[in-house]
Amino acid sequence: MHYLVMKKISKRLSNQIEQIEKTKLYEPLEALTLLKKITNTKFNETIEAHISLNIDPKYNDQQLRASLILPQGTGKSIRLAVVTSENDLEIARKAGADVYGSDDLINQILQEEINFDVLIATPEQMPKLAKLGKILGPKGLMPSPKSGTVTKNIPETLNEFKKGKLEYRADKTGIVHIPFGKVDFSVQNLYENLQALFQSIERNKPTGVRGRYFNSFYICTTMSPSVQIGLNYFK
């Protein structure tokens, strides 16, 4: 005989669920206000968007990978790495790269020594990085012109990422997961970041999309249930 084992919901989570209307499509400002209100952990949670798109990423013309600069930043400090020629290592150091190198850094990555959140490369280094695809690809760390991580201008690119630039991509099911702020941000700052995020995804719509592009748009904090936003509120 098989018994169905129900996972017990904590009192904290139960209280949060009670305050969210399941069938309601929230207006963005209302949803952000609600998430800030129901947050009850002792740490500064990240606020995330989870967007389901009507795409099939197994086709090249339905893949989504891009970057945007959040107007109010991410609230998260990130470690930036630069792969460039030996002649430009000093430029990377002075521009504030946390990790920088040439063949030595490539060899470290081959040994799966990865101590950075974003990898930036100059164009002439890209052929050397091809052998790192199996390591960097699954982690979403492979530099790409579309995501703004292949550049000839190291200082400008590093500065953009420090200001709040982030990469995003659709996973194999067509869902985009993007952190866009922290619970201690003001509602207005979160709203500005959310608007920029929506506009970026819309602007980078893959050419192979037919018909509807967005399926659903949810936001949540690290530890909260999700709240669905009505897509018409972004228009």
pLDDT tens profile 153-183: 999 999 999 888 888 999 999 999 999 999 9
* Separation in Å, CA 81 to CA 27, 99, 120, 132, 177: 38, 4, 6, 15, 22
pTM of the model: 0.75
- Say if residue 1's pLDDT is above 50: no
Predicted pLDDT at 19: 67
Q: Catalogue the long-range contacts made by 22-30 (C-beta closer than 8 Å, 24 or more residues apart).
A: 24/228, 25/228, 25/229, 25/230, 25/233, 26/227, 26/228, 26/229, 26/230, 27/229, 27/230, 27/233, 28/191, 28/194, 28/195, 28/229, 28/233, 28/234, 29/187, 29/191
Residue 86 pLDDT level (bands cut at 50, 70, 90): very high
Q: Which of 14-23, 93-102, 126-135, 202-211 has the lowest mean pLDDT?
A: 14-23
Question: Where do the domains of the chain lie, and which CATH numbers do they carry?
Answer: 22-73+166-234 (3.30.190.20), 80-163 (3.40.50.790)
- The percent of residues above 70 in pLDDT, for the chain, comes to 92
